[in-house]
Amino acid sequence: MEMDWRFERNILLLSLVAVWFVGWLVGHSAWFIALFLLCYVVVQFYRLQNLCDWAQSSDPESIPFEQGLFGQLAYQIYQSKKHGVTQKINVRNQLERFKKLISIFPDGVVILSLSNEIKWFNDRASALLGLKEQDTAQHINHLIRFPKFTRLLSQAEQDGVLVMAGPVNESNLVAEKIEIRVLPYGQNERLLLVRDVTKVERANQMRKDFVSNASHELRTPLTVLKGYVEMLLTDTAADRARVEKSLQKVDQQVSKMQTMVDELLLLSKLEEAEIDKATDVINIHNLFEQLDSEFQPLSKQKKQPLRFDIQPGADLKANKNAILTVLRNLIANAIHYTEQRGEVRVSWSINTDGQGVITVKDTGKGIAARHLARLTERFYRVPENNIMHKNGTGLGLAIVKHELERHEAQLLIESQVGEGSRFQCLFPSKRVCHTA
């Protein structure tokens, strides 16, 4: 830069001397110098204009001057222009990266102005709140018209949270429950975060239902127990037979409570249990023999034949105790919910898809269709069937379902009121072990 300035200055001085000399020769040195300076200013002005035009243009590559002072100046402008473009590209890339990052966020993000105008939102927010591209610049409280939501937005500076039903988006509900949080963001904006909390809310509801069901189920036998104990304490003159009868009732209630607590413990263990990876093969014939001898007394008492059928040639890869638990529950139910002289059949077969199927079929009371989907819920009992098995806990089928899930198996329930029920356990073909 220094060199070019000196060079430019020297050229100017030499030119001035030359012009003065020529002017002195012809006797008009002052006019010559004035004319030369005028030309010099015009040329420099023209070059400056070129430089300005180029500096404002969007094409930094077409540098107008390569040499001299203007060349240096153009080069400096070129450098800072290039630096500016690189910086712009960097900022744009960073912005794109940030947008991409937010767009893959599992939660919805909406940027709002202080007057609740939508400035930007990601795909998840669009799905959870039903926002569309054309909603940008609209007031969000005009699109989501829930009083609680409007109240949340009006808490200007605070960080507020709200759980509400997810809006129905084009007749399709994306999330049953959503959590909305509004946070101050920058100076003139707010950030609205949306999260699908359907599962968390369901789990909370289940926990509440469970506590209330369990306390309700335990309270009934406890009330009966208390009644008998009080009676025994006050009625000191009661004869041996009466005392014995009362104690038998107490024993029944204690057994029911014990069963319930054992089943609850088993259920909580099953909830944490992993998929059964046992490679043990259960001999179905031996399994059915064991169940036959366990249940014959009960089926004889109810004068119901209990039959076992086996399609030969295959056994089952599973945990024997788990399958015993499943079948004990299903067979006990079939016997309990079938009148005297009904029939219970247990069978093992392989279906056309190669699945191993254990079926427990009865000719009992049957279950109305409206109850079928809820049978495996904890404590769910069919009110009209309760009378047939007063000691039932409503936990048996929940245990069956969990044990089967642990064996990658499915439970199919079919039933007709007055005709009977069929419970099928379908095990995947990989768990079938062909023996013949």
- Is 389 near ligand ADP (CB under 6 A)? yes
How far is residue 114's CA from residue 157's CA, in Å, rounded to a whole number?
9
- Is 363 near ligand ADP (CB under 6 A)? no
Q: In what order do the strands lie in the sheet with 108-113?
A: 118-121, 108-113, 189-196, 177-185, 160-165
The one-letter amino acid code at 365 reads: K
- Position among 124, 364, 409, 411 found at the interface with ligand ADP (CB under 6 A): 364
Radius of gyration (Cα) for the chain, nearest Å? Answer: 44
- Of the candidates 358, 371, 326, the one whose C-alpha atom is nearest the C-alpha of residue 426 is 358
Cβ proximity to ligand ADP, 201 vs 414, nearer residue: 414
- Position among 362, 363, 407, 427 found at the interface with ligand ADP (CB under 6 A): 362
How far is residue 339's CA from residue 342's CA, in Å, rounded to a whole number?
6
- Is 393 near ligand ADP (CB under 6 A)? yes
Only segment of 72-80, 165-173, 244-252, 384-392 that touches ligand ADP (CB under 6 A): 384-392
Only segment of 60-68, 178-186, 279-287, 391-399 that touches ligand ADP (CB under 6 A): 391-399
- Is 402 near ligand ADP (CB under 6 A)? no
- Is 256 near ligand ADP (CB under 6 A)? no
Cβ proximity to ligand ADP, 29 vs 359, nearer residue: 359
| 293-332 binders of ligand ADP (CB under 6 A) | 329
How far is residue 209's CA from residue 89's CA, in Å, rounded to a whole number?
57
Taken as a whole, the chain contains a residue count of 436
- Which value, to the nearest 10 degrees, does the dihedral of the CA atoms of residues 267, 271, 274, 279 take? 20
Q: Which helix (H) or strand (E) holds 412?
A: strand 410-416
- Is 394 near ligand ADP (CB under 6 A)? yes
Q: Where are the alpha helices (DSSP H) in 27-117?
A: 29-56, 68-103
The one-letter amino acid code at 243 reads: V
Only segment of 112-120, 174-182, 217-225, 393-401 that touches ligand ADP (CB under 6 A): 393-401
Give how many residues touch ligand ADP by CB under 6 A.
Answer: 21
Cβ proximity to ligand ADP, 89 vs 368, nearer residue: 368
Give least dist CB 340 to ligand ADP, A: 15
- The answer to whether the CB of 413 falls within 8 A of the CB of 421 is yes
Which parts of this chain interact with ligand ADP (CB under 6 A)? 329, 333-334, 337, 362, 364-365, 367, 375, 380-382, 385, 389, 392-397, 421
